[in-house]
Amino acid sequence: MSDSGDSDFGVSMSSIAPESAASNSQPIALSDVSPQDKPWDKHRSFADRVEGFYAGSEFNGYSSRIHYCSELLEFGLAPTEHDTLKLKLRSARFCRLRHCPVCQWRRSLMWKAKAYKVLPKIVEAYPSHRWLFLTLTQKNAPIVELRETLKQMNRGYQRLVQLKAFPGEGWLRSTEVTRGRDGSAHPHFHCLLLVQRSYFGKKYIRQDEWVEMWRKCMRLDYNPVLDVQAVKQGSKPMELVPELLKYCTKESDLVADREWFLELTRQMHKMRAVATGGVLKEYLKELEEEPEDLIGNDDQSEMDDKTSVYFSWRRKEKMYRLSP
pLDDT of 112 > 70? The answer is yes
pLDDT of 24 > 60? The answer is no
pTM: 0.87
Q: Residue 261's pLDDT is what?
A: 98
pLDDT of 277 > 60? The answer is yes
Q: Residue 7's pLDDT is what?
A: 44
Closest C-alpha among 305, 295, 294, 318 to residue 31: 318
Return the sign of the alpha-carbon dihedral for residues 163, 168, 173, 178. negative
Return the sign of the alpha-carbon dihedral for residues 231, 236, 237, 240. negative
Q: Residue 302's pLDDT is what?
A: 62
pLDDT of 172 > 60? The answer is yes
- What does the pLDDT look like over 74-104, one tens digit per residue? 999 877 666 667 899 999 999 999 999 999 9
282-305 mean pLDDT: 74
- Find out whether 93 and 40 touch, Cβ atoms under 8 Å: no
Helix (H, G, I), strand (E, B) or coil at 87: strand
For residues 11-35, one letter each, b for 16 or more C-beta atoms within 10 angstroms of the residue's C-beta and e for the rest, the string is beeeebeeebbeeeeebbbbbebbe
- What does the pLDDT look like over 244-270, one tens digit per residue? 888 899 999 999 999 999 999 999 999
Share of the chain above pLDDT 90, in %: 68
167-175 mean pLDDT: 95
Q: In residues, how long is the chain?
A: 324
Confidence of residue 301 (pLDDT cuts 50, 70, 90): low
What number of other Cβ atoms are within 10 A of residue 269's Cβ? 9
What number of other Cβ atoms are within 10 A of residue 81's Cβ? 6
Q: Residue 218's pLDDT is what?
A: 98
Percentages of the chain per state (helix, strand, coil), in multiples of 5: 45, 20, 35
> What H or E segment, with its residue span, contains residue 158?
helix 146-162
Q: Residue 4's pLDDT is what?
A: 45
Q: Residue 144's pLDDT is what?
A: 98
Q: Residue 210's pLDDT is what?
A: 98
pLDDT of 215 > 70? The answer is yes
3-state secondary structure 178-226: EECCCCCEEEEEEEEEEECHHHHCCCCCCHHHHHHHHHHHHCCCCCCCE
Cα 119 to Cα 230: distance, rounded to the nearest angstrom: 17
What number of other Cβ atoms are within 10 A of residue 110's Cβ? 25
Q: Residue 236's pLDDT is what?
A: 73
* Exposure on the CB side of residue 172, measured as CA atoms within 13 A: 28
pLDDT of 321 > 80? The answer is yes
Cα 219 to Cα 276: distance, rounded to the nearest angstrom: 23
Q: Residue 250's pLDDT is what?
A: 94
DSSP label at 6?
-
Confidence of residue 6 (pLDDT cuts 50, 70, 90): very low
User: What's the Rg (C-alpha) of the chain?
Assistant: 22
Return the sign of the alpha-carbon dihedral for residues 81, 87, 91, 95. negative
Burial (CB < 10 A; 0-12, 13-18, 19+), residue 156, is buried
- Find out whether 5 and 37 touch, Cβ atoms under 8 Å: yes
Cα 231 to Cα 126: distance, rounded to the nearest angstrom: 15
214-228 mean pLDDT: 97
Q: Residue 3's pLDDT is what?
A: 42
For residues 165-176, one letter each, b for 16 or more C-beta atoms within 10 angstroms of the residue's C-beta and e for the rest, the string is ebbbbbbbbbbb
pLDDT of 22 > 70? The answer is no
Burial (CB < 10 A; 0-12, 13-18, 19+), residue 180, is middle
pLDDT of 296 > 80? The answer is no
DSSP label at 72?
E
Choose between 159 and 16: higher pLDDT. 159
